[in-house]
């Protein structure tokens, strides 16, 4: 599975730590940013979403709160990006929502970030009819 990762300036340091850990087990594509110099998060979140859809991968976004990037990324048709703050959210966003991208706050400590990401990457979609129906309803609205 190909993992795409991106951040803004606020998330740069955590992104680098997370990327280095993920590279031990996954093919990771870093879409930037490459420093703590101020940047606009949509310029990273949207291209990440496009790559996730194009290559049927998974994505990880990190910005100050995680909120801006999740909003921007969700503008890409086919993306279901969830802002995650704990293990339960990381699990349920895959199990119930079949999310393909998560967004984290740069204030998340490294150990928690790794746990959330690992949970996100290893939890399968439940395939229950009610969850499939709801995702279909969202996709129909995207037209």
The string of pLDDT tens digits covering residues 63-102 is: 999 999 999 999 999 999 999 999 999 999 999 999 999 9
Catalytic site residue from 96, 107, 131, 136:
96
What whole-number distance in Å separates Cα of residue 101 and Cα of residue 45? 10
What was the pLDDT predicted at 143? 60
Go through the domains of the chain in sequence order and give each one's CATH number: 2-141 (3.40.1400.10)
Give the mean pLDDT of 20-47: 98
1-5 average pLDDT score: 95
* Spatial separation of the C-alpha atoms in residues 116 and 104, rounded to whole Å: 9
pTM (whole model) above 0.85: yes
* Residue 136 annotated to the active site: no
Confidence check: pLDDT of 141 > 80: no
63 is catalytic: yes
Query: 118 vs 2, 25, 35, 111, 138, CA distance in Å?
Result: 14, 11, 25, 11, 26
Residue 38 buriedness (CB in 10 A; 0-12 / 13-18 / 19+): exposed
Sheet architecture: strand order including 2-7: 27-30, 2-7, 58-63, 101-105, 81-83
| Catalytically annotated residue among 9, 63, 73, 81 | 63
């Amino acid at each position: 599975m190909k993992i795409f990762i991106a951040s803004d300036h606020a998330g740069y340091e955590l992104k680098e730590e997370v990327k280095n850990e993920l590279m031990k087990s996954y093919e990771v594509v870093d879409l930037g940013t490459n420093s703590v110099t101020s940047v606009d998060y949509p310029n990273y979140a949207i291209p990440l979403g496009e790559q996730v859809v194009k290559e049927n991968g998974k994505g990880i976004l990190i910005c100050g709160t995680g909120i801006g990037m999740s909003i921007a990324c969700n503008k890409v048709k086919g993306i279901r990006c969830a802002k995650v703050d704990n293990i339960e959210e990381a699990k349920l966003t895959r199990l119930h929502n079949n999310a393909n991208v998560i967004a984290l706050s740069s204030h998340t400590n490294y150990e928690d970030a790794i746990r959330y990401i690992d949970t996100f990457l290893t939890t399968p979609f439940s395939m229950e009819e009610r969850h499939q129906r709801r995702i279909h309803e969202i996709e129909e609205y995207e037209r």
